[in-house]
Structure 1
Amino acid sequence: MFLEKVLLGVTLAAPIGPVSLEMIKRGLRNGFLGAFIVRLGGAIGNTLCLIAAYFGLSLFDNTSPSLAFCSLAGSLVLIYLGVKSFLDKRSHLLSLTLDIPRYSIGNGLLTGFILSIANPIGIIFWLGIFAATLDSSIDGKTWLGLFENFAIIAGVLTWGICLSGVLELGKRFFNQKLIHSITMIAGLMLIFFGLKYGYKAVGQLLTIFPLA
């Protein structure tokens, strides 16, 4: 289960979004650390949202219809993100940007943090993801449920290390074709996770609201 959630974190972070774009800009100019510091700041923001989602879910018990509906909503979000990533045909600017200064740790952390929490529905997003991935054998009110989902953040950071490593090699190894390949694979994996957790959520709802 831990490795599965690490993989989910990787697939959530892999599609090119605001944090990844900032990593690319800084990484192509400043190398590994310039890119990874941004991802680390983003992961801190993600962690705060995840903790907020934990306290939100602690209001419900494992048999609550509200928790089951949150789980289903989170599954649908994963499927939506997967379809969106798989169909993404955008071109992303890969040229070195001269107005990007040499990295500073504080600036990179703050930029990644702000980008990760700037979306007003961020906590709602993590609420759905947390509910969808919560192991039914674990009481959502215990700290174990929270620490289990920190594996998602570990996956986000794992992807940050991989992307930063590629950016360290330079623009010759990081091109538009590679971006499209990564985005499509991540999209397929997100769809897979969405369908898996959605199946579990529907099963929970049928248990609570039997058809006959």
Structure 2
Amino acid sequence: MSLYVAYVLVGLAIAMPVGAITVEMTKQGLKNGFMHGWAVGLGGMTIDLLLICALYMGLASILAMPIVQIPMWLIGAGFLLFLGFDSIKNADQGITLSGEKVTKSFFSSYRNGLLVAVSPGNLVFWVNVFGVVLANSYDQGEPKNFLIVAAGVLSGILLHDVGLMAIISLTRKAMNRTAIKWLTIAAGVLLLGFACYFMYEFVTAIRVYI
């Protein structure tokens, strides 16, 4: 139990810094409420879970290869460019104020979470942290520790997502369409910034390995 609780705190610490997932969650939460913001987080956690399964099945060495990681910088940049431009272009569309009926589908927000989570930064984290945990677990003859750690980290991320969306859902009650529109534009600009960073990392990695 102590191992699980310790890694719940690790999951919270991982999720706290503002990243592309947090920005997209906040944007969707402001425009369409708690469930749509949380759907983005669930999309991100789906990618996290798939990576954990891949590591547990012994694919850590493959995921750590530059030939796998480098293209993901470009893929991630492409997805973030798409979401960033879409946020700015449609900032005044699809806004649902508190108490109004949401017309946007839950799946579209979930899909955005999947797209944002496809980044080598996410991949590198899971390979580095869980690669070590997995190795230690097998060295000690207790591979189940890996699953306990994974459950703890995912629980921590889930707690962060629910807490963030609870705050956002309360905040949006005091906001009008204009305020939400400009915050959506700001979120789009931040996503474009993350896209530029991914492009920079892609170019840097190419120069190193070519």
Q: Mapping of 1:3-152 within 5 angstroms? A: 3-56=5-58, 97-100=91-94, 102-116=103-117, 118-120=118-120, 122-133=122-133, 136=136, 139=139, 144-148=144-148, 149-152=150-153
Deviation at 1:26, TM superposition (A): 0.9
Q: Report if aligned partners of 1:57, 1:141 keep a CA contact under 8 Å in 2.
A: no
* TM-score, length basis structure 1: 0.55
> In structure 2, the residue corresponding to 1:99 is in which secondary structure?
coil
Cα distance in 1 for residues equivalent to 2:156 and 2:19? 16
For structure 2, the 5+ residue unaligned runs are: 65-86, 96-102, 176-210
**Alignment partner of 2:4 out of 2, 5, 30:** 2
* Letter in structure 2 aligned against 1:99: Q
* Letter in structure 1 aligned against 2:145: G
- Residues paired across the two proteins, number: 139
> In structure 2, the residue corresponding to 1:98 is in which secondary structure?
coil
Deviation at 1:33, TM superposition (A): 0.8
* Letter in structure 1 aligned against 2:110: L
Deviation at 1:37, TM superposition (A): 0.8
Q: How large is the RMSD of aligned CA atoms in angstroms?
A: 3.3
Q: Report if aligned partners of 2:43, 2:114 keep a CA contact under 8 Å in 1.
A: yes
Cα distance in 2 for residues equivalent to 1:151 and 1:35? 22
Q: Does 1:159 align with 2:160?
A: yes
Deviation at 1:57, TM superposition (A): 6.8
Q: Mapping of 1:128-207 within 5 angstroms? A: 128-133=128-133, 136=136, 139=139, 144-148=144-148, 149-171=150-172
* TM-score, length basis structure 2: 0.56
Q: 1:137-179 deviations in whole A, cap 9, x for unaligned?
A: 66588651332122111111110000000000125889xxxxx
Cα distance in 1 for residues equivalent to 2:36 and 2:6? 28
Cα distance in 2 for residues equivalent to 1:140 and 1:103? 49
| Identity among equivalent pairs (%) | 26
Cα distance in 1 for residues equivalent to 2:146 and 2:125? 16
Cα distance in 2 for residues equivalent to 1:142 and 1:54? 13
